[in-house]
Amino acid sequence: MATPLSTRITKATGRRYAVALLATLVALLVRLALNPLLGDYVPYVTLFPAVAFCAWYCGIGPSILSVVLALIGAKYWFIPPAHSLRIIGTAQVVGIHRHGTGRWYSGVLVSFQCAGGDGRGPPSP
């Protein structure tokens, strides 16, 4: 019988971080592919599911890594000025802060709920 995805991911710490990195990278690439349609609007739309996946299957540490990488990637590629990490204006600061803290809190809550409080992802069956 095949082992569930959550069991295979949560066995090794390195694997959890690698899966989180991969999930965030895929989400950024999907958003990059959608950029001609979406433009500057909804820069975090594909990143929400990636962070939730990381929180659910990988745990707190990897989900925090996912949030940080998602914020940096979204700022660099999708939030004007593009291809720059420079933040201009209060609206960008508020948007980045809101996304970062909201995703971080969601990740922590989901991870703790799934893991029974230990923050390592969902429990093994």
82-104 pLDDT, tens digit per residue, is: 888 888 888 777 777 776 676 66
46-71 pLDDT, tens digit per residue, is: 998 998 898 888 888 898 899 899 98
Q: Which residue has the tokens 């929400």?
A: 48
Percent of the residues in the chain that have a pLDDT greater than 70, as a whole number: 73
Quickly list DSSP for 24-61: HHHHHHHHHHHHHHHTTS-TTTTHHHHHHHHHHHT-HH
Residue 107 has a pLDDT of 62
Sign of the CA dihedral 56, 58, 60, 63?
negative
**Whether the predicted pLDDT of 26 surpasses 90:** yes
**Whether the predicted pLDDT of 115 surpasses 70:** no
Nearest to 79 by CA among 103, 97, 52, 64: 97
Q: Would you place residue 6 in the very low, low, confident or very high pLDDT band (cuts 50, 70, 90)?
A: low
Q: How far apart are the first and last CA of the chain?
A: 13
Displacement of CA 108 from its chain's centroid (Å): 12
